[in-house]
Each structure stands twice: as C-alpha cells, then as structure tokens.
Amino acid sequence: MKNILDAKFMTEAIRTLSNMYRLGWDERNGGNLSVLLDTAEVEEYLDTENVIREIPFSFDATALAGKIFLVTGTGKYFKNVEYDPAANLGIIRIKECGNIAELLWGYTDGGRFTSELPAHLMSHIARLECDESHRVVLHTHPTYTIAMTLAHSLDEREFTRTLWQMQTESIVVFPEGVAVLPWMVCGTNEIGVATAEKLRGARLCVWGEHGIYGVGRDLDEAFGLIETVEKAAQLYMIAASVGIKNKITDDELRRLAATFGLDYRRDYLG
C-alpha cells in the first residue's frame, strides 16, 4: 500500500484548506470540504474492506451508495489540517442503506464528518445529476462575500449583476450567476435540501449572513469560483463605501459575453 498522505487528492485538499485559512476565510472551525474520490485510486492507499467504524446520519443518501469521499471533520480548524491530517479529515464510504458512513481512514480522535454533511451529500447528488464529472463541494466564510450579504439585496439577479459589474472576470467565470439563500439554520437537512436545489442551476450558492458554497469537477474549479466571487464582493464593499461612480454596463457585459461565447443568464441584465 502506498502512503495516503502522498495521494494527490490528499496533498491538494490539504494545500487548499491551508490557503483558505491564510486568506482569512475560515476562522476557528469555519468551512468544510468534501471530495468524491475515485475508488480504484483509494484502493492503492487503503484496504477498503477494513471499516474502522460506522457513523450514522439522518437523511437518505442511497444515490451515493458505495461512493467514497474525503470529508473535513466537524469542529476542526482548517489551520490545523496540514499538521495532523488524520485527526482533521476522514475518508468515508456511503453504505448501501444510504444513512450510514463507513469510516475507512481518519477522524483518529473519535471525531466525525462536518455538521454540514446534508448540504454536501445532497449537493453531490444534485450536481452528479447535471454533470457526471462533478467531484467537489466546498463551503467557506469569505469576509467580503458575507459583508455583501449584509449590505446588498439578496435578490439573486441583483446580487449576481452587481458582482458582474465589479470586474471583467466575474461573468466569464460564473456566467450562470450566483444562487442566494436567505439566512437559515445551518447544519440541518432543510438547508441541505435548499442548497442542493440551488446548485442544480449554478455552481455557487451564497448563504446570507453565513458564507458560500462552490462546487466543481476539481478543487481548483470550486475554489476559483469562490475566489472570484470574493474578489468582486471585496471590490463592491470597498467601492460602495466611498460611492460607486463607474461599473461595467449591461451593454459591455453583453459584448464581453459575445466575445467569450458565454452561455450566461441573459435575464439578469437590464
């Protein structure tokens, strides 16, 4: 067996989580990550017959039965992951019954997966239905994105349009726009259902007064989406505080979309 700490999926996840902590997005235990792993690849590193323990949960994930995920632990700090990956991360397989996670590696201090497992697994189910190459669900608390949910309308069209108006890259990176949920109690099946539903139509879902979800075919895609929203939100918060005098117009956004051949939310422009 090869050393799992050398696996590409592991080194990439650890590097991303450390970066996110240093960006100031993931205070304390804020944020969580789940990555759908390739079973054959996992078998190079782990005896998948060896189930360390079973951890039940209270929603139906039979659509993911047999699938293996790398998942951050609940209450764990992103800043600590690189120093003790096995205590802060876990590798779980969804059992046939659909409401038990079989622990194959990690959570060595007796811990368990993130409290946001409903939003993660329900979002994996929803995204796999739209895109069989989907792999990653990433949740974080980026400062300016949250600030923007305090200062700006949460209407999805208005929120997206403002992000598009702040910098050229926004509409190019997320032409389908950003979904937005109002504040809800986190860690529940309800917010999981609502998030997964939103992520059918977009790869980004903002949680009012809380944070954001990004999904993708790999970590770079999910991270890059969130990073681009956060940059636009930062520009908005800085510029709005002194008064916005210029922004990219709807006509300019249309020209940009035509040049880049974007399949964008045309109804979000005036």
Q: Which does 115 bind (CB under 5 to 8 A by kind): ligand 13P, Zn ion, none?
A: ligand 13P
Which residues, in sequence order, are bridge partners of residue 222?
A: none
Token look-up 């939100």 returns 233
189 belongs to the binding site for ligand 13P (CB under 6 A): no
Contact string 43-72 vs ligand 13P (x = CB under 6 A): -----------------------------x
Among 57, 95, 116, 148, binds ligand 13P (CB under 6 A): 116
Which residue, 72 or 170, is less far from Zn ion as judged by CB?
A: 72
Strand 68-72 and strand 179-181: the pairing is unpaired
Catalytic residue chosen out of the listed positions 27, 49, 82, 116: 116
The correct pick among 48, 74, 108, 189 for binding ligand 13P (CB under 6 A) is 74
Helix ranges (DSSP H) in the chain: 8-22, 39-43, 78-81, 85-88, 117-130, 143-151, 156-166, 169-173, 189-198, 219-242, 250-260
The count of chain residues that interact with Zn ion, using the rule CB under 5 A, is 1
* Residue 18 touches ligand 13P, criterion: CB under 6 A: no
Task: For residue 209, indicate whether it is catalytic.
Answer: no
Record the tokens describing residue 21, joined without a space: 């902590």
State which of positions 194-233 bind Zn ion (CB under 5 A): 211
Cross-sheet strand order for the sheet of 89-94: 53-56, 100-106, 89-94, 68-72, 32-37, 136-140, 211-216, 204-207, 179-181
Binding site for ligand 13P (CB under 6 A): 29-32, 72, 74-75, 114-116, 139, 186
